[in-house]
Amino acid sequence: MRTRPHTLAIGAAASLVAALAVALPQSAQAADTSPVGFGAGTTGGGNATPVTVTTLAAFKTAVTGSSAKVVKVNGLLSLSGQVDIGSNTTVLGVGSASGFTGGGLRIKEATNVVVRNLNISKPLAPADGITVQESTKVWIDHNSFSADRSHDKDYYDGLLDVTHASDNVTVSWNTFKDHFKGSLVGHSDNNAGEDTGHLKVTYHHNHFSNVYSRIPSLRFGTGHFYDNYVQGADTAVHSRMGAQMLVENNVFASTKVAVTTSRSSDVDGYANLRGNELGGAAIEISRQGSFTTPPYAYTAEPASSVVASVTSGAGAGKL
C-alpha cells in the first residue's frame, strides 16, 4: 500500500503531518508487508536467504519442494505451459521488468505461497498466467498481468484462475490489462461437491483495464472485492452458482455491467454492494447476499480516492 504525496503549507507543524498520516486510509499509507483479507497469515518463504535466477531451468529447480525459499527472478523469461511452485515459497521479480511470457505459474496442492512484482504476459491456452488449484494461503501482490485483444478470446487462457477448492487467497495491487478472460474463481458449474465451502478470495486495489469479463467470475465461493478500479469491461463482477460477493468502494468506468448475479449459469449468485462509483454501469442483482462482514480486519478507503491510489500503486515495480 503506497502513500500518496501531500503538499503542506510552509511552516506546518509536525503534529499536523502526523495527524494527516493517521487520517489517511490504511490502504494508502504504505506498501503491504503482509496480506490483508482471506490470505492473511501467508508468509511464503519468510526470511529464507534469497536465491536469484536468470534462466527458466534454474527457476524450475529453485521453486520445487516444500522447504522455505525465496526465489528472485531477474529478467523476462519465455516459457511454454506452466511451472509448478512448491509450498512455503516466495517468488519475487527483480526491478520492474522481470517475469514470464508465453505461459505462467501453477500453485497446485501447495500452501503458503507468495507471488510478487512479476510481469506475466500472453499465457497461451491452456496455460493461465497463474493457476491456483487445491491450495491454501496464497498471496498474489503487485504483479502486472497482460495479453492482447487482437486474437480470439480463447487464444490466451485466464490471467489468474483460482479453482478446485482452493482457499484463503488475497489478490492485491495488481494490474490486469488487455485481455478477454480476467480472473475465474471456480472452474465449472458441475464442481459443487469439491468447491462448496471453499474458494474464499479477497481482491483489493487492483486495476483492470480493457479486460472484457471475469473481474472476477466466482462460483460457489465467498469473494470480497473492494477498492478496485475497473475500466473498459463488458461484464465485471459475476457471482454465480450460489457464490456470495461483497462489492465495496470500487470504481467502474466505461463498463457496461458492473455486477451481475444472473448470467451464464443455471443457479444465480448473491451480491451485496456498498460505496461503489458505478460510472453509469448497470447492475443485475437477482439475489442479495448474506456476506456483509468479512471475518478479518481491513480498512476500505472511500471510492473517491481509489483511482489515485490504484493508478499510482498497483503493478510490478511499485513495491
Cα angle, residue 250 at apex, residues 239 and 274 outer, rounded to 5°? 70
DSSP letter, residue 95: T
Which amino acids are annotated catalytic?
A: 214
DSSP letter, residue 124: B
Distance in angstroms (rounded) separating the CA atoms of residues 83 and 77 = 12
Write the DSSP assignment of 7-46 as a string of letters: ---TT--HHHHHHHHHHS-GGGTS--SS--STTTT--TTT
- Hey, CA dihedral for 22, 26, 28, 29, is it positive or negative? positive
Distance in angstroms (rounded) separating the CA atoms of residues 230 and 280 = 13
C-alpha cell at position 160: 489468474
Return the bridge partners of 260, or none: 238, 284
Distance in angstroms (rounded) separating the CA atoms of residues 255 and 251 = 10
DSSP letter, residue 194: H
